[in-house]
Structure 1
Amino acid sequence: MCGIAGILLKDPSADTTREQPRLAAAMERLRHRGPDDLGFYQRPAVLLGHRRLSILDLSPAGHQPMTSRDGESVLVLNGEIYNYLELRRELAGHGHCFRTGTDTEVLLAAFTEWGTGCLEKFRGMFAFALWNNVTRRLLVARDRVGEKPLYYWRDGRRFVFASEIKALLELIPGRPALSPEQLNVYLHYQFVIEPETLLEGIHKLPAGHFLEISVDHWYGDPRQYWDISSIPPIGGEPAATLREVLESAVEMTLRSDAPVGIALSGGMDSGVIAALASRKRADLTAFTIGYPGQYDFDERQDARRLAELLGIPWHSAELATDEFAAFFPQLVASVDEPIADVAAYGHHAVSKLAASHGIKVLLTGIGGDELFFGYDWVREALRLSRIKIHAGQTDSAWSRARASLMRRVIDHPGLLNIAANRRLPEWWRVRVDRFFDYGKIDLEHPDDWVFYQLDYHWKPACRFSEQIFSDDVNRQLPPGSAYRLMHGLTGHMSDPQIGICKLLFDSWLVSNCLALGDRVSMASSVEARIPLLDATLIETVVGFWRAGRTDDSQGHKLWLRAVAKDLLPPQVLNRPKRGFLTPTAQWMAAVNARYRSHLLGGALVDTNILDGTRLRHWMERTPVGLQRDFFQYKLTLLELWSRLVIHGQKPHEIVEAKSARHAVRTHVPQPA
């Protein structure tokens, strides 16, 4: 894994000498992504830069930018092509010769042989830029699910790209404005949904897409080469087939000439990866994070037992609340985008722990919940969306009236408490639960999925954001913009399971989990690898769905448990879902208290994004509780991100608000 950046000027004869300092500054911003080597490529109109984290072929032969044997193409690659050995043998059969042991050289040869069709052959995580000296065309591409990032910006004379926003800003004249619409999206979701960002004009290349830029094709749009909705059906027995594919995925993600570790929680997802990996690599090491005095959130005991059972050396570290609050500005800077997932600190810490033991590659269990329907709320969204499809097909006046009535009941706490009283007879409770389902499906918007509206923080975010935005921002918000993600139900009437999975992949997975995971691991110069998001594994699971096989209604991760039944003990297979747990309420309270004055008198107020008077009134009058605390946490993170990333302030320059010290020690709100 590495860091890449580049500049393409529209004038084909333009001298790039004046652009060199810009690119050098961008590459310095990416030092953490590749501390082992630095390289540049410069020609008229084009500049490419590469920071290398040496994983495959640790020799200088892996230096980038790398030029093809015929001198026609030049490549900078971030990530890994896991099946490079298989592709290398196939390409050798077509007459290609190789000088190095790198996947970079294989990618160059694959493009020479198959053009952009090579993307469909890759199993891996990648973002790359390839310049062709003959066609004078720049190709940028990204892996299927978006494990590796690529940002870009262009105007009438230049196209620039980089692995992180901080680096991209070094290549852009001036500072882009904040987007009011995306600010609103962030406050609803805790992240901005790609391909958008919070900054006007800066975009992410979408996962599973490529973009070609040339003088005569300057404003072309990204083109999709992979879509989960287009996966064909397959036959066979799910458990046996998935076991074979997962073993292959783990074997490929273990390919490394550098030391490999695994982030181990003691649960099924990371456990099955650890069990398979330990059979294939004897030097595997496990790492776990714990929290002092927080038994409900501390998984070290489970992880240690599992590591001992598998014969894997195990290390752990503790994270205290006061340490999190003090480290928060550095964490925000490392994540690069505003992502208000409190689990970021734990992910950052486990990568740092691994790096301290000489690990460069860290396997994780991310993706299991997204691919195997491990989240209760996602299974509930699928169940309710199916009810909505059925109700829409019947389209009776009674269905619409019932939905409208129950939505009003749900929105009225007093009526809701009366109707849902658990002391009432069972026949009443069963009927009320069925009626409540209709109150959640919103038949007035027949094309909207039932999805993020189920989130505990969604409705409060709708109300809170309007209360604290300035009049100017509120005027610029398109009606219903935060709901745009949920559009498209009518296009998946026959396959709602795939539709819900696509929604999850296109939002939460790529814009929260994968974006966060990449940044915090790379902050410690560690490459995170995710076997459960292997392209072939995804296509196998979805292929079974297409064939009418489903596991979403048959219990928690039915297929994955079947795959792991001879790999893990029953206490791991049958452990209730816990996820990546952290002391969320305590951490948010500490951050909110420590940086309260920064938010009230900060850049967001000064630039009229937030109305200072309304914000102060909201903080003073809104009752304490998890919903209010999380919204304030999102605002605080956004304020610090604005200072650190947009305005270039250093983390150590964000001083502690002295008036908040006592609050950190004495006031820790509990969940409502």
Structure 2
Amino acid sequence: MCGIVGFNWDDKSLARRMSSVISYRGPDDSGIFTDRNVSLAHQRLSILDLSKKGHQPMANEDGSIQIVYNGEIYNFQTVKAELEEKGHRFVSDTDTEVIVHAYEEYGLDCLKMFNGMFAFCIYDSNKKILFLARDWLGIKPLYYYSKDGNFIFSSELKAILEHEISREVEHKALNKFLAFRYNTDESTMMKDVLKLMQGHYAIYDLSKKELSIKRWWDINIDIQNKSEDYFARKLHDTLKESVRKRLISDVPLGVYLSGGIDSSSIVAMMKELGADVKSFSVDFGNDRRIEDIKYARKVAEYFNTDHKEIYCEPSVKELPRICWHLDEPLADPAVIPSYLLSRLVKKHVSVVLNGAGGDEIFGGYQHFDFLKHRGKFNLMPKQLKKSLLPLAVRATPDFLVERFSKFLTAFGEKGAEKFVDFISSSGNKAEFYLAIISVMDEEERKNLIRKDFDVSLIEKYRKKYFRSKHSYMDQVMYLESNHFLVDNIFNHVDKTTMAWAVESRVPICDHEVVSLAFRIPNKMKLKGQGGKYIFKRAMNDSLPKDVLTRKKQGFFVPIDRWIEKDIKESVESLLSEKEVSKHGLFNQYQIKKMFDGFSRSKMYYARQMWTLMNFQIWHKIYIQGERPESINI
């Protein structure tokens, strides 16, 4: 994988500066192309065809087309063979050259020929256009700025800031970040810088200086009436083919092994395909990870992998540097171990497969167990929800509540309150979902934000995600596959792995696997407790039984302990009136409410404080212009 940048005027100096800022994405080679219409630059991480023939920007035979590209096309050899039959001639063994010729032959329709992850820009000098595209599910990032006749794009937001643009916080993005801990909006946290969304392409007319954007692919919910046996066999075979495609590499390749069913399934498929498996597990030095290490070791021994356990205690001291790499505030604490693990894994391999995506598309998260009962909750009389339910929840002992959900007991007093809000909102599909997902609810965001702008999300989400004829849980899984998976998981995995020039591949998120998942009735996914029933059924003959039946373990990072002890002074400083007043976005009394309630509902308010802390660090770096090294945590 690589880093790409470009803009619609000739300036080698700016292109070089932009490319240099993200040079860690591609330390093996760099290149620049300019003419009077455009400047393109590329940082290369060599994975396929390590020769100089893979240098970018890459041109076609007559130089009328130039491309800068980040990603992997796993079926490029098949597409290449088809193009050769049509008379195309190739000089390299790269997938980059295949994209160029596919565009020559098929135009914009070339996108649906590619199986893989990609973000690229093609400069067609004959048509005087820039053609930008992002892959099916948005695994690879692509940012752009289009204002006052200037069009700029890059793999990372920070490179765009090398051009002098106004640095202001985008309120829509801020609202969604405070709700979810990550930004799901097309707008980024930096005003006027946007994301090309997953499954979209853009055409920039260089003559007219006009930008048009269209969606070229979307997940299609197309439930089919077939048996469990059919879907289990089909899923097993489709996933195996996805893994096979992702084993192509001219550099050392490995797999992250957590001991959970997703990563264990990837290891199983690799062994079925006859691969020599290098597996990596991480020990973060806390009791909650002991079970993960035990199961990862068991899977490694079962499949006889070349296994390495890496000890790496999560250090919050790295957070400012991580925030810089992330481009936007992203308050999922899993970014820290992901970043540290990638640094250590780079010593052994340059490509890793991981199990991301299984929970979103096959219903593996705990909140799905809540959400699937919406119909039952909705049958409760309104008076019962309003008056008797709160009393019943508060009177229930913690050990009984925990049998239903550890989520509630971890949140303390606020857990019971949130549960009542959740049940009470069951009549509105969007409100029901947001009540359990949101880190800060609508009232909390309204009380926190000083600026006068709309913080409501319920009606927007109802119209966008919950108006179709499909079942509620199919709608939820579609939403999570377009939001959480893309803007949290893919985003932070790309940034934290590419920070160390490690390419991450996600077999479960092959578009053919995802398309199949949305043909499977959700009752086959959510059957029983813990979800992912059909996925487990598909892997029944491939994995040890205790791995298949193991309860899902969350990726635990002890932010509540950190805030209470390790970084208490740093949190108090970052969220102090002195610091918050520098941007004037937040009301201090709402922040004080978080501190006051922390002892009674630690994890609930820890998540909110961690979210604000990440925003404060981001603001210092990206708006105030401080260097990450100058921010002490």
CA–CA distance in 1 between the matches of 2:114 and 2:563? 40
Answering whether residue 278 of structure 2 is matched by residue 285 of structure 1, we say yes
Secondary structure of 1:450 counterpart = helix
- Paired residue for 1:63, among 45, 55, 60? 55
Change (3 A) 1:276 1:618: same
Tell me the residue number matched to 2:176.
Answer: 185
Q: 2:105 aligns to what?
A: 113
| SS of residue paired to 1:487 | helix
CA distance in 1, matches of 2:42, 2:605: 43
Partner amino acid for 1:160?
Answer: I
Partner of 1:38: 30
| Structure 2 residue matching 1:126: 3-state secondary structure | strand
C-alpha displacement at 1:616, in angstroms?
6.2
Q: Superposition pairs for residues 188-267 of structure 1, below 5 Å?
A: 188-215=179-206, 218-229=209-220, 237-267=230-260
Partner of 1:659: none
SS in 2 for 1:227: coil
SS in 2 for 1:629: helix
Distance 1:439-1:630 versus aligned 2 partners, 3 A rule: closer
Distance 1:123 1:554 in 2: 33
Give the letter aligned to residue 525 of structure 2. Answer: D
Instruction: Please give the alpha-carbon distance, in whole angstroms, between the structure 2 residues aligned to 1:6 and 1:417.
Output: 57
Equivalent in the alignment of 1:465: 445
* Alignment counterpart, residue 627 of structure 2, candidates 650, 654, 659: 650
Mapped contact 1:403–1:438 kept (Cα < 8 A)? no
Give distance in 1, aligned partners of 2:421 and 2:592: 36
1:408 is matched with which residue: 360, 364, 386? 386
Q: 2:368 aligns with which of 375, 378, 390?
A: 378
CA RMSD of aligned residues (A): 2.8
Residue matched to 2:414: none
Cα distance per residue 1:103-155 (max 9 Å; x no partner): 00111111111111111121101111111010011111101111000011111
Distance 1:414 1:551 in 2: 34
Query: Is contact 1:351-1:362 (8 Å) kept?
Result: no
Q: 1:439/1:234 Cα in 2 relative to 1: closer, same or farther (>3 Å)?
A: closer
Residue of structure 1 in register with 2:481 after alignment: 505
Partner residue, 2:5: 5
Is the partner of 1:198 in helix, strand or coil? coil
Deviation string for 1:20-63 (max 9, x for gaps)? 32222211111110000111110112011111000000111000
Cα distance in 2 for partners of 1:8, 1:329 equals: 32
Match of 2:560 in 1: 585
How many angstroms apart in 1 are the aligned matches of 2:448 and 2:590? 5
Q: Which moved more, 1:114-123 or 1:360-369?
A: 114-123
Identify unmatched segments of 5+ residues in structure 2: 402-418
Match of 2:435 in 1: 453
Which of 508, 513, 516 is the matching residue for 1:540?
516
Q: Are 1:551 and 2:525 matched, yes or no? A: yes
For 1:80-99, list aligned pairs within 5 A: 80-99=72-91
8 Å Cα contact 2:25-2:501 kept in structure 1: yes
> CA shift at 1:591, angstroms?
4.0
Shift of 1:655: 2.9
Tell me if 1:569 matches 2:564: no
List structure 1 runs of 4+ shifted beyond 6 angstroms.
419-424, 435-438
Question: How many aligned positions are there?
Answer: 610
The CA deviation at 1:379 is 4.2
CA deviations over 1:378-410 (Å, ceiling 9, x no partner): 2432441x569xx7xxxxxxx7xx664345348
Could you tell me how far 1:99 is from its partner in structure 2? 0.8
Instruction: Specify whether residues 436 and 598 from structure 1 end up closer, same or farther in structure 2 by C-alpha distance, changes over 3 A only.
Output: closer
Counterparts in 2 of 1:41 and 1:423: CA distance versus 1, 3 Å: closer
Q: Is the 8 A contact 1:449 1:488 kept in 2?
A: no
Q: Which residue of 2 aligns with 1:427?
A: none
Give the letter for the 1:66 counterpart. Answer: M
Amino acid at match of 1:531: P
Deviation at 1:494, TM superposition (A): 3.4
Helix, strand or coil for the counterpart of 2:557?
coil
* Counterpart contact for 1:405–1:439, Cα < 8 Å: no
Aligned counterparts of 2:261 and 2:399: Cα–Cα separation in 1: 33
Cα gap change, 1:167/1:565 in structure 2, threshold over 3 Å: closer, same or farther? same
C-alpha deviation, 1:296, in angstroms: 4.9
Equivalence for 2:326: 335
Note the C-alpha offset of 1:218. Answer: 4.0
1:168 maps onto 2:160 in alignment:
yes
Structure 2 counterpart of 1:430? none
Matching residue of 2:416:
none
Q: 1:422-441 maps to which residues of 2 (within 5 A)?
A: 439-441=423-425
Secondary structure of 2:220's counterpart equals helix
Amino acid across the alignment from 2:54: G
Give the direction of change, closer, same or farther, for the CA distance of 1:131–1:407 in structure 2 (3 Å limit). Answer: farther
1:570 maps to amino acid: K
TM-score for both structures, normalised by structure 1: 0.84
Determine what percentage of the aligned residue pairs are the same residue.
27
Change (3 A) 1:233 1:220: farther
Deviations 1:78-122 (A, max 9, x none): 111111111111111211111111000111111111111111121
Q: Is the 8 A contact 1:34 1:52 kept in 2?
A: yes
CA contact (8 A) 1:3 1:163 kept: yes
Distance 1:273 1:515 in 2: 21
Change (3 A) 1:67 1:647: farther
Give TM-score scaled by structure 2 length: 0.89
